Structure 1
Amino acid sequence: MVAEKQSKSAVQSLDRAFALLNIIAAAPDGIALGVLAQKAGLAPSTTHRLLGALEGQGVVEFDGQGGVWQIGLAAFQIGAGFIQRRDFIAAARAPMRQLMQDAGETVNLAILHQHRVVFVAQIECEEVMRMAVKIGSIGPLHASAVGKAMLAFLSPELAAQLIKRLNFPKLTAKTLPDNVSFENELQKVRDQGFALDDEEQSRGLRCIAAPVFNEYAEPVCAISISGPTVRVTADRTGQLSALVQAAADRVTQQLGGKKPN
């Protein structure tokens, strides 16, 4: 009984420590102890104790001059380990840069994580009005071109599992509202080879994405371009989608992957 209580206490401390780490990661200029404790819903003394443990592991650092807590070097090293494991990020760099130059728009690289998408790389265009997402940020699966591009080519069983978890929150007037419309959209993606977010996530923003495949013809990530609808117009969809698909195909080839039949 005592061991069980100790185990639950350890898990709770670990959950709280990771919550603190996520809050600190979202504060690029650092965050004061009091503000951090308030955001985490913890007592300052508890917060300080957990920060001490995290600091001991090097994942957070205290800036005495600014009086704030920041992400430490060890956290970066952990993240770098993830990037090294994901060879497609390195393989995608050159095609992404070429795509940005050819399309003139910001290029993104995203992966699937549970029932959401996570952006893992980005090359911004030089336009004043452009889209920018923070690396590591999460996007909705049902209203993103990258999400639809990957989901459309998953196995039917896995795709069905993910779709069951979607509740289709309405983000704009164009957001797909339910399973039927979403599955019809995925079939369209399979037929044409690319996915479109036509102001479904944000008004005035249009995105075009295509999947990257591994050696088993499974989608491992998706490349997209995104920009304002005044530049990424409906008339340019054919031209831009061809550029996006070519970039995704190039990464697939570099990884030794293959497209589905």
Structure 2
Amino acid sequence: MEKSTQPEAVSSVLKVFNILQALAEQKEIGVSELSQRLMMSKATTYRFLQTMKMLGFVSQEGEADKYALTLKLFELGAKALEYVDLIDIADKEMREISNQTNETVHLGALDEGAIIYLHKIDSSYNLRMHSRVGRRNPLYSTAIGKVLLAGKSHDEALSILEPVEFIKHTDKTHENADQLMGEVELVAKQHFGEDNEEQEPGLRCIASPIYDRFGNIIASVSVSFPTIRFDIDRKPEYVKMLQHAGKRISEQLGYHDYPVA
């Protein structure tokens, strides 16, 4: 009954989700009843439950043979929904920036030691930045990445960067965390970040922060320009445009003390 043609790792994942489903359907359940319902041995069921308990997804009252789900899954779901709400809210502001610039606009968030694109509005030009939703890019060579790091304390930022390998994408790419943190401190003061051909030759990018209701930077909105279309005289206008968008998105997420704009 416990034999499976699935690879062991996949089989284990299936067991975990079967346990979660069973616990979701019943407030509390014992090992014996759960193992019978899932047609798993009692020893295997117990082992999985103890691991899930250690990770905080399952609780056990004292030494009683009863297990229940904790709120950790709810917390994970709430975070996911926050990003869904964020994308819906940001879309209007991103389209406004796109209409004003005709350039590529991104929404990005922190994903371990990198940024991940959550949403994108393509440029109307044939010559444009190549990217896709779900793609990851480095923190150290992107405007969005610098903005996200600026929302962390110095020690937190260094901890995030510790396992990151700094790859020289161009001759302008930062070579190490100490070098990068000097610019991140400036980003924190001016409330916008830049990528000046650090990720890709011939491409510039400006980004502004987005705050959640607690005042934490949870995402960033950016606009990317091929250098041949980047007008340095309009840079203050681009920054103001992005900060106004960041402010409006943040307000809809419950934050009303945006530092500029």
Instruction: Report the Cα distance in structure 2 between the residues aligned to 1:94 and 1:11, rounded to whole angstroms.
Output: 42
- What residue number does 1:130 align with? 128
Conservation of the 8 A alpha-carbon contact between 1:83 and 1:89:
no
1:58-102 Cα distance to aligned partner (Å, 9 max, x none): xxxxxxxxxxxxxxxxxxxxxxx9864411111101001011112
- What residue number does 1:96 align with? 94
- What residue number does 2:233 align with? 235
Instruction: Report the Cα distance in structure 2 between the residues aligned to 1:260 and 1:253, rounded to whole angstroms.
Output: 8
C-alpha displacement at 1:236, in angstroms?
A: 2.6
Instruction: Report the Cα distance in structure 1 between the residues aligned to 2:175 and 2:204, rounded to whole angstroms.
Output: 18
**Residue 179 to residue 230, structure 1, CA distance change in 2 (3 Å):** same
**Residue 202 to residue 13, structure 1, CA distance change in 2 (3 Å):** farther
- What residue number does 1:160 align with? 158
1:175-200 Cα distance to aligned partner (Å, 9 max, x none): 01122220110011012110000000
- What residue number does 1:56 align with? none
List alignment gaps of at least 5 residues for structure 1: 16-80
**Residue 124 to residue 83, structure 1, CA distance change in 2 (3 Å):** farther
- What residue number does 1:256 align with? 254
C-alpha displacement at 1:235, in angstroms?
A: 2.9
- What residue number does 1:177 align with? 175
Instruction: Report the Cα distance in structure 1 between the residues aligned to 2:221 and 2:134, rounded to whole angstroms.
Output: 15
Aligned-pair identity in percent equals: 30
Instruction: Report the Cα distance in structure 1 between the residues aligned to 2:119 and 2:126, rounded to whole angstroms.
Output: 20
Instruction: Report the Cα distance in structure 1 between the residues aligned to 2:202 and 2:12, rounded to whole angstroms.
Output: 41
C-alpha displacement at 1:133, in angstroms?
A: 1.2
Conservation of the 8 A alpha-carbon contact between 2:158 and 2:177:
no
Instruction: Report the Cα distance in structure 2 between the residues aligned to 1:183 and 1:223, rounded to whole angstroms.
Output: 20
Q: How does 1:9-48 map to 2 (within 5 A)?
A: 10-11=8-9
1:181-231 Cα distance to aligned partner (Å, 9 max, x none): 201100110121100000000000000001100111111110000020111
**Normalised TM-score (structure 2):** 0.67
1:218-254 Cα distance to aligned partner (Å, 9 max, x none): 1111000002011123333222111111111110011
Match of 2:185 among 170, 179, 187: 187
Conservation of the 8 A alpha-carbon contact between 2:247 and 2:258:
no
Instruction: Report the Cα distance in structure 1 between the residues aligned to 2:174 and 2:231, rounded to whole angstroms.
Output: 20
Conservation of the 8 A alpha-carbon contact between 1:130 and 1:227:
yes
C-alpha displacement at 1:125, in angstroms?
A: 2.3
2:228 match: secondary structure: coil
User: Aligned residue pairs: how many?
Assistant: 191
- What residue number does 2:117 align with? 119
* Matching residue's letter, 2:245: A
Conservation of the 8 A alpha-carbon contact between 1:142 and 1:166:
no
1:142-181 Cα distance to aligned partner (Å, 9 max, x none): 1011011111112334222112122211100100112222
Match of 2:244 among 239, 246, 257: 246
- State the superposition RMSD in angstroms: 2.4
Instruction: Report the Cα distance in structure 2 between the residues aligned to 1:236 and 1:209, rounded to whole angstroms.
Output: 15
Greater C-alpha Rg: 2
**Residue 14 to residue 103, structure 1, CA distance change in 2 (3 Å):** farther
Instruction: Report the Cα distance in structure 2 between the residues aligned to 1:125 and 1:167, rounded to whole angstroms.
Output: 30
Instruction: Report the Cα distance in structure 2 between the residues aligned to 1:82 and 1:134, rounded to whole angstroms.
Output: 22
List alignment gaps of at least 5 residues for structure 2: 14-77
**Residue 256 to residue 82, structure 1, CA distance change in 2 (3 Å):** closer
**Residue 117 to residue 132, structure 1, CA distance change in 2 (3 Å):** same
C-alpha displacement at 1:124, in angstroms?
A: 1.2
2:199 match: secondary structure: coil
